[in-house]
Amino acid sequence: MSAPNEPQSFTDPAYWKNFFAKRKSPFEWYGDYNSLSKVIDKYLKPSDKFLQLGCGNSELATQLYDNGFHNIHSIDVEPSVIAAQIRKNKERPGMLFSTGDAANLTMGDGEHTVVLDKGTLDALLPPAASDADKATVIKMFDEVHRVLASGGRYIIVTLAQPHITEFWIDHFFPLYAETLKIYNEKFSFFRKQYILRVQKVENKASGFPMPVFCFIATKMRAPMPNPLPLEVLRSSSIRTDRIESTDELKDAIRGEQELSQFIYLCSKKLDVEVSIDFQGEDSSSGPRYRVCVVDNPETKTIETFAAFVVPIGRDAEWLFASPKGRKALRSQCGRDRLAMIFLNRSHQYEKGMDGVKADIGHFVGMLDVRANDSGNYEILSVGGVDVKRTISTGRSEINGGWSVEEITVDGKNCRRLVFLNTMNLVQSEAFLKTGKKKQTIIDLDQLACDFHRMMIGSLALSSHQPLAKLDTPCKMAVLGLGGGLLTAYLLRHFRKVRITAVELDPEVAKIANAHFSFPHSDPRIEVVIQDALVHLQETAKKSEEEKYDVIFVDVSGSQNAALQCPPPSFLTPEALSDMKNSLKEHGMLSLNLVTRDSELGKSIKSNIIEYFPTLYTVLSFEDVNEVIVGLKAPKNTLKPVVPQKLINTVRKDLGSYDEVVGAISNIRMVD
């Protein structure tokens, strides 16, 4: 017999009579002694006098007795269950079973040091509880308080559904309780008299993937002048954390429930990678950890496992930041399952790798589903928790906190502009080199970003052929300045180019000048601090001579959205029309597109082709970036594109030559 389909059945004695008549064996939805032993061993002692509410046919009382807890009185409303428990435990002297109602206890005041409720509260208080149901639960709380001795503990084993958590907090925590209409002077003894703790337990007895919690209310001798503590022991931690508010406690419970769902999801081999975030003490700084789990698609069972801590400063690299890269990393590590742990620049990790292990190692161990040696796993990395060198930090009103960092990867020194509002967003990256005076300078001749190389490669499709001719006059717009590296490269390698760089954030322009050697004084460059969409609207109305030969769209959107680049506002009919009308007759659009949704990508290309009848894509070597190249000229007016012929025209002195011609080889026409 399964759990009741209707919540009302939980409170119907007829349902339980029928349930226990059909199910003779013990049923441990909420866990047995082994599941609850961590809580029992922590909070209870053999000399405690137990009262178990709603024992049903559970073996918990029997298991408690066999583990040294002999003073146990269990009650239930169903007489047949009590009779069966008496027969089963007749050789255990001192155990007491009797028919009884938790809302009308017959025990004396302060008679018990422990009151244990395993699922009874959940049964009495369904999600759509009536006023009568709530009154019954309040009366049960009243009775429990009466029979519980000072220093005693009321332990509720529960699924902690939101309505259960809310009701429990409202009755045992004073600040909430005082606001309740149903809470009157009759129940004022609860106020400031209980220390509340919540502990997640691993329930393996029922066979169901249900997260189970213990709500532990410790009764003080008398009400205190100030609210008593709220505490939680998370499954990802070995320590009890003090909680400052009831809302934070509820968030912690919801977080533990999400963890349980995640762990259950990872209990078998995964077909796709999955990830989960862990918040720190300051949630405004973003998640403290992100754990991403990648499995070997070729294996049937997980036989090898490891964790990999990605150092701050390396997290934005292809190997760590992209699904393809993470698959490659798992394969390189030679593990069937790899749990990758990402850190956050906005948080401090003073205790290094040992601190990371202490914070999250317990949870990562739960992802180890090997049949043998489970939980004994290796932690891999490519350095410490932080391998970057911070050059400068600040805050922009538009983009929030930022950091300019340096890092060495595969022997190459790089400088990066990082926005701190996401865990893995590197806005700009440049290679460093040693100057004539032995100082470290930005290498403006080489492109560090793959999609910048793709954008330069897309110029092979321009009717002006700037990759072939050094002195080709060309008027360009770069929408999204960033560190200014694409613009600086264009200025250095195309002698007669004139560029308008449009940037929304004035702080970004200052960073480009101060930290990325942006050639702002070059007369061929004009930096416009303006919304790029407004700039397009204005340009579209200008004369043909004032319009552009090439428009580069290098604008980032939300890193958590299906469409990451550009923002959706750049792909509306109005925006695409303005892009088209901002170009000269033979002009070209080069747009960086990032989406992991293939259907969305197809839809976007279909929309663009309405305005640019000849459409190409430059595919990335590594990840989901692709550069969309739109030409205003109709297909039937152009010669077929042969990538190798285009490569043969590229100047050999071009910076990042090999990467640029590699990008050209990946040019494909969009049908």
85-89, 264-268, 606-610: least confidently modelled range: 264-268
* Average pLDDT estimate for 394-412: 90
pLDDT at 396 over 60: yes
pLDDT of residue 3: 42
Q: Taking Cα atoms as reference points, which of 532, 519, 528 lies closest to residue 500?
A: 528
What pLDDT is stored for residue 260 in this prediction?
A: 80
- Which of 261, 282, 312 terminates a domain? The answer is 261
Per-residue confidence (pLDDT) for residue 177, from 0 to 100: 41
Asked if the model's pLDDT at residue 201 lies above 90, the reply is: no
- Domain-embedded: residue 432: yes
CA–CA separation, 400 and 421 (whole Å): 7
More confident residue, 560 or 26: 560
User: For the chain, what's the residue count?
Assistant: 671
Model pLDDT, residue 259: 82
Kindly state whether residues 63 and 104 are assigned to the same domain: yes
Q: Is the pLDDT of residue 203 over 70?
A: no
pLDDT value at residue 236: 53
Residue 246's pLDDT is 85
Considering the domain architecture, whether residues 319 and 303 belong to the same structural domain is answered as yes
Beta strands 305-310 and 626-631, pairing class: unpaired
The average pLDDT across 304-320 equals 91
pLDDT-based confidence at residue 445 (cuts at 50, 70, 90) = very high
In a domain, 114, yes or no: yes
Read off φ and ψ for residue 393, nearest 5 degrees: -135, 160
Asked if the model's pLDDT at residue 12 lies above 60, the reply is no
Do 335 and 438 sit in the same domain of this protein?
no
Q: Which pLDDT tens digit goes with each residue over 31-58?
A: 788 888 888 888 999 999 999 999 998 9
CA angle 402, 408, 412 (to 5 degrees): 115
Q: What is the pLDDT of residue 299?
A: 94
Tell me the C-alpha to C-alpha distance, in Å, between residue 528 and each of 264, 588, 589: 52, 21, 19
What are the φ/ψ torsions at residue 502 (nearest 5 degrees)?
A: -110, 120
Tokens coding 470: 């050094």
Give the residue, 280 or 333, on which the prediction is more confident. 333
CB 157 within 8 A of CB 36: yes
Between the CA atoms of 335, 337, 342 and 348, what dihedral angle is there, to the nearest 10 degrees? -80
- Among residues 317, 313, 514, the alpha carbon closest in space to that of 405 is found at 313
Cβ count within 10 A of residue 327? 17
Q: Look at the block and give the residue holding tokens 């960033």.
A: 482
CB 613 within 8 A of CB 629: no
Mean pLDDT of 603-611: 95
Q: One-letter amino acid identity for 39?
A: V
* pLDDT score of 27 more than 80: no
CATH number for 311: 3.40.50
Residue 640 three-state SS: coil
Per the listing, tokens 């499709």 go with 461
Residues 496 and 645 occupy one common structural domain: yes
Cα(499)–Cα(511) distance, integer angstroms = 19
Query: What's the domain count of the chain?
Result: 4
Interval 469-510: pLDDT, tens: 888 899 999 999 999 999 999 999 999 999 999 999 999 999
Statement to judge: residues 74 and 142 lie in one domain: yes
Share of the chain above pLDDT 70, in %: 88
Residues 123 and 140 in one domain: yes
Q: What's the pLDDT score for residue 28?
A: 59
- Cα-Cα-Cα-Cα dihedral sign, residues 446, 404, 420, 480: negative
Q: Which of 256-260, 270-274, 318-322 has the highest mean pLDDT?
A: 270-274
Domain that holds residue 603: 450-669
In terms of domains, do 518 and 621 share one? yes
Token pair in block for residue 574: 């109005």
Residues 650/664, Cβ–Cβ less than 8 Å:
yes
Alpha helices by DSSP H, 92-211: 120-124, 131-147, 162-172, 174-177
Residue, of 226 and 69, whose pLDDT is higher: 69
Contacts of 94 (CB under 8 A, 6+ apart): 65, 70, 71, 72
User: Which residues on neighbouring strands pair with residue 479, listed in sequence order?
Assistant: 502, 553
Do 176 and 271 fall within a single domain?
no
Give the model's pLDDT for residue 76. 95
Contact residues for 26 (Cβ-Cβ < 8 A; gap 6+): 57, 58, 59
> Is 205 a residue whose pLDDT tops 70?
no
316 vs 77, which has greater pLDDT? Answer: 77
| Neighbour count for residue 591 (Cβ, 10 Å) | 26
Tell me what pLDDT residue 186 has.
44
Contact 650, 475 (CB under 8 A): no
256 in the same domain as 112: yes
Evaluate if residue 391 carries a pLDDT over 80: yes
Q: Does 589 or 208 have the greater pLDDT score?
A: 589
Cβ atoms of 378 and 501 within 8 Å: the answer is no
Contact 64, 70 (CB under 8 A): no
DSSP letter string, 286-300: -EEEEEEEEE-TT-S
% of the chain surpassing 90 pLDDT? 61
Spatial contact of 646 and 661, defined as CB atoms under 8 Å apart: no
Q: Report yes or no on 12 lying in a domain.
A: no
Q: How far apart are CA 232 and CA 551, in angstroms?
A: 55
**pLDDT (0 to 100) of residue 6:** 44
Asked whether residue 326 is domain-assigned, the answer is: yes
So what's the pLDDT on residue 621? 67
Greater confidence (201 vs 553) lies with 553
Element (H, E) at 73: strand 72-76
- Residue 423's pLDDT is 62
pTM of the predicted model, to two decimals?
0.69
Q: What is the pLDDT of residues 178-198, one digit of tens each?
A: 444 444 444 444 445 898 999
Asked whether residue 231 is domain-assigned, the answer is yes
593 found inside a domain: yes
Dig out the tokens for 419 from the structure: 């926005």
What CATH number should be reported for the domain holding residue 43? Answer: 3.40.50.150
Q: What is the pLDDT of residue 231?
A: 84
User: Are residues 466 and 510 located together in one domain of the fold?
Assistant: yes
- Label the pairing between strands 148-158 and 212-219: antiparallel
Spatial distance between the Cα atoms of 476 and 487, rounded to a whole number of angstroms: 9
15, 141, 377, 471, 523 from 104: Cα distances, Å:
21, 10, 51, 95, 89
Q: Are residues 584 and 632 in the same domain?
A: yes
Q: Is the pLDDT of residue 323 over 90?
A: no
Position 26 pLDDT exceeds 60:
no
Which pLDDT tens digit goes with each residue over 88-117? 999 999 899 999 999 999 999 999 999 999
Of 246, 261, 276, the one marking the end of a domain is 261
**Predicted local distance difference test score (pLDDT) of residue 13:** 44
Using the 3D structure, point to which of 261, 293, 321 is the last residue of a domain: 261
Closest CA to 486 of 502, 510, 462, 472: 502
- Structure token pair of residue 645: 């012929």
Residues 230 and 283 in one domain: no
Q: Is residue 18 one of the residues assigned to a domain?
A: no
Is residue 2 a part of any domain in this protein? no
